[in-house]
């Protein structure tokens, strides 16, 4: 079953998404999103944190400045208990730019 946390949520990073989980155990967290770069040739992207623990980064190399591109959809293996949790998205570099035209989606698959 899939448990959506955020669907096409726009905004400037960092963004925080609190949620309650009705299942526990070994699960998968899915991420998709977009961003742009302030410099040509920059590596930009999003860092994904679950309950303040860094799960990993989703990077992309940008050739053009201010061209919003979709980041690769990424899946993180996680182990969670029932109850309240928080996912936070951060920029991975100072050249990463996000605004209301960028969209972020998060979901948990059991």
pLDDT at 40: 96
Q: How many angstroms separate the CA atoms of 78 and 75, rounded? A: 9
What pairing do the DSSP bridges indicate for beta strands 74-80 and 2-10? unpaired
Runs of H (alpha helix) within the chain: none
Task: Tell me the per-residue pLDDT of 66-107, one tens digit each, with 9 for 90 and over.
Answer: 999 999 999 999 999 999 999 999 999 999 999 999 999 999
CA distance 79 to 93: 27
Which residues touch 99 (CB under 8 Å, ≥6 apart)?
10, 11, 12
**How many separate domains does the chain show?**
1
- 1 — pLDDT class (breaks 50, 70, 90): very high
Could you report the per-residue pLDDT of 12-48, keeping only the tens digit for each? 999 999 999 999 999 999 999 999 999 999 999 999 9
Please calculate the CA angle 73-15-100 and round it to the nearest 5 degrees: 80
Q: Which CATH number fits the domain that encloses residue 15?
A: 2.60.120.40
pLDDT band at 55 (very low <50, low <70, confident <90, very high): very high
Q: Provide the domain limits for residue 31.
A: 2-109
pTM of the model: 0.96
Give the separation between CA 57 and CA 91, rounded to whole angstroms: 9
Q: What is the pLDDT of residue 88?
A: 99
* CB 4, CB 107: distance < 8 Å: yes
């Amino acid at each position: 079953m899939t448990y959506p946390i955020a669907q096409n949520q726009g905004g400037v990073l960092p963004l925080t998404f609190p949620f309650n989980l009705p299942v526990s155990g070994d699960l998968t967290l899915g991420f998709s999103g977009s961003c742009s770069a302030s410099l040509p040739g920059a590596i930009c992207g999003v860092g994904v944190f679950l309950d303040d623990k860094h799960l990993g980064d989703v990077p992309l190399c940008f050739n053009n400045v201010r061209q919003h591109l979709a980041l690769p959809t990424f899946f993180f293996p996680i182990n969670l208990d029932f109850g309240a949790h928080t996912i936070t998205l951060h920029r991975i570099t100072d050249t990463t730019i996000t605004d209301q035209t960028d969209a972020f989606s998060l979901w948990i698959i059991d």
